Amino acid sequence: MLRTVARPKDTNTNSDVFGGWIMSQMDLGGGILAAEIAQGRIVTVSVQEMSFLRPVKVGHVVGVYARCLGVGNTSLKIEVEVWVKPFVADEPDILLELVTEAVFTFVAIDHEGRPRLIPRDDNPRLDAFLPPKQAV
């Protein structure tokens, strides 16, 4: 999870937080998880459809939540959601509101920027996403 506060410099001409800023936070949050699983450098290669469900206001706490949907030889699919709440809620029962969600595809790369295999051995983060090994 990644949390930050939306600030005035992050707004568009309507005084709502700029959608590109929200997307960059999603890329950061999803990229952290992807890099941990890939055990190294990754790049974003695609983002599936994204819809903004409600505007984000200055002062909202923006929470980015990521979970791995799948791991290939060199790529990872990461679902990323953004939830918001007021920075200081007047009412303690205020709930988080979903703002947007999307599936990001990341590719593990080597030091020359070429795709590389995601390590399969001694990779505890990856073990949670692979099917169990069959006994022989």
Q: Please tell me which residue, 124 or 112, carries the higher pLDDT value.
A: 112
Tell me the domain boundaries of the chain. 2-123
Q: What is the fold, at CATH topology level, of the domain defined by 2-123?
A: Thiol Ester Dehydrase; Chain A (3.10.129)
* pLDDT over 90 (residue 134): no
Contact in structure between 76 and 95 (CB atoms under 8 Å): no
The 10s digit of each residue's pLDDT in 2-43 is 999 999 999 999 889 999 999 999 999 999 999 999 999 999
The tokens of 97 are what? 């509101």
Compute the distance between CA of residue 64 and CA of residue 45 in angstroms, rounded to an integer: 19
- CA-nearest of 33, 30, 26 to 100 is 26
Amino acid identity, position 29: G
Chain-centroid distance of CA 125 in Å reads 16
Contact in structure between 5 and 21 (CB atoms under 8 Å): no
- CA-nearest of 51, 53, 55 to 15 is 55
The tokens of 134 are what? 């069959």
- Residue 132's pLDDT band, with cuts at 50, 70 and 90, is low
The 10s digit of each residue's pLDDT in 40-91 is 999 999 999 999 999 999 999 999 999 999 999 999 999 999 999 987 766 6
DSSP 90: S
